[in-house]
Amino acid sequence: MQTLPVSMAAKVSRHSNFALPLYVQLLAIFLGLATAASVANANSLQFRGNIKAEARYFIESAPHSTARQSNVSLAAEPEFYYALAEGNSSLSLTPFLRWDENDPARSHVDLRELNWHKIEQSWELTLGVNRVFWGVTETVHLVNIINQVDLVENPDQEDLLGQAMANLTLIRNWG
């Protein structure tokens, strides 16, 4: 039996043993739970989101041996919203998942939102991880003053990460 050099064996095994990344497995679990919950109670669960696929192929091969001739990337941002039985509180979950074929630093999972929201006659309470869009408008985009920016996903600072918070709003006649 012929053995491969260590460096070549590592390259072969990296591409021949296919396993789904953890974040793809988590997305499959969330989709499964959403499907099961929607069958059980279709009125209280809402699901929406975005799925994006990117592909690049360069006709000419690169002069450097480390450069790839093609690249595939997949991203998903599902949003789950569940209204609880009493009607005045809800749960929401928005994860973000990206898988990149060639760039492990770009492959990541982020939690954009995971919060519980309660509404009463004179107050509202939100607990968990949330994104807040508040600030001043600066020509093209909103200036962010609370959330961290997702520089891995979008260097132009338009994508925000979730921030742990507790938000209490008091509703009064005087404002």
Asked whether the predicted pLDDT for residue 78 surpasses 50, the reply is: yes
HEC secondary structure over the chain: CCCCCHHHHHHHHHHHCCCCCHHHHHHHHHHHHHHHHHHHCCCCEEEEEEEEEEEEECCCCCCCCCCCCEEEEEEEEEEEEEECCCCCEEEEEEEEEEEECCCCCCCEEEEEEEEEEEECCCEEEEEEEECCCCCCEECCEECCCCCCECCCCCCCCCCECCEEEEEEEECCCCC
Is residue 58 assigned to a domain?
A: yes
Q: Does pTM surpass 0.85? A: no
What integer pLDDT is reported at residue 76 of this predicted model? 92
Is residue 5 assigned to a domain?
A: no
Mean pLDDT computed over every residue of the chain: 75
Number of domains in the chain: 1
Q: For the segment 162-171, what is each residue's pLDDT rounded down to a tens digit?
A: 788 899 999 8
Is residue 13 assigned to a domain?
A: no
What integer pLDDT is reported at residue 22 of this predicted model? 64
Higher pLDDT, 88 or 63: 88
Q: Which domain holds residue 60?
A: 20-170
Is residue 141 assigned to a domain?
A: yes
Is residue 3 assigned to a domain?
A: no
State the average pLDDT over residues 45-61. Answer: 87
State the average pLDDT over residues 81-100. Answer: 87
What integer pLDDT is reported at residue 4 of this predicted model? 42
